[in-house]
């Protein structure tokens, strides 16, 4: 009986290891969570599980940091992250060992913000071209 249980546990561990090896080099947080949950449910403990657990923890930390930076406030007044802060958050997200869809969302937001900034600068430059230079003596109550 004990031999059969050990054999079953070994087979489960081997299957888990094979599935772990089949994961992309940068699996999604969802896939990593699913694999870890299955291993824990089967009572499997392997060194690779610690790597996966750490990667999931880093990803969750990044997600929490992103949520906080989106919803931060100063004395009751909501403040938005600067483009530089969002860019740093994006770079950190890219460096994570897991794929997180929110990193792609940040990339889109950064692109849109940069486009908006370019259009605003162009509009200001155009507006400056139409502002007449003040004339000497104008406005003096003479």
pLDDT at residue 16 tops 70:
yes
Cα torsion angle, 52, 55, 57, 63, sign:
negative
Domain definitions of the chain by residue range = 2-129
Q: What is the pLDDT of residue 66?
A: 86
Of residues 92 and 138, more confidence is placed in: 92
Q: What three-state secondary structure class fits 71? A: coil
Mean pLDDT of the chain: 83
CB-CB contact of 136 with 120 (8 Å): no
**pLDDT tens, position by position, 91-137:** 999 999 999 999 998 899 889 988 998 999 888 888 877 777 777 76
Rg (CA), the chain: 27
The tokens of 20 are what? 């772990």
The tokens of 59 are what? 């990803």
CB-CB contact of 52 with 76 (8 Å): no
Q: Where are the alpha helices (DSSP H) in the chain?
A: 2-22, 29-41, 47-70, 83-95, 101-130
**pLDDT tens, position by position, 44-86:** 888 888 888 999 999 999 999 988 877 665 556 667 778 888 8
What's the predicted TM-score (pTM) here? 0.66
CB-CB contact of 104 with 28 (8 Å): no
């Amino acid at each position: 009986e004990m031999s059969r249980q050990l054999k079953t546990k070994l087979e489960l561990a081997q299957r888990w290891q094979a599935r772990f090896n089949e994961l992309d080099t940068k699996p999604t947080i969802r896939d990593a969570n699913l694999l870890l949950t299955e291993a824990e449910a089967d009572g499997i403990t392997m060194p690779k599980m610690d790597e996966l657990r750490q990667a999931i923890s880093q990803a969750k930390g990044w997600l929490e940091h992103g949520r906080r930076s989106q919803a931060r406030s100063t004395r009751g007044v909501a403040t938005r992250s600067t483009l530089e802060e969002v860019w740093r958050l994006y770079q950190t997200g890219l460096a994570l060992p897991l794929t997180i869809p929110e990193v792609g969302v940040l990339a889109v937001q950064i692109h849109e913000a940069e486009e908006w900034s370019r259009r605003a600068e162009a509009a200001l430059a155009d507006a400056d071209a139409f502002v007449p230079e003040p004339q000497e003596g104008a406005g003096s109550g003479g």
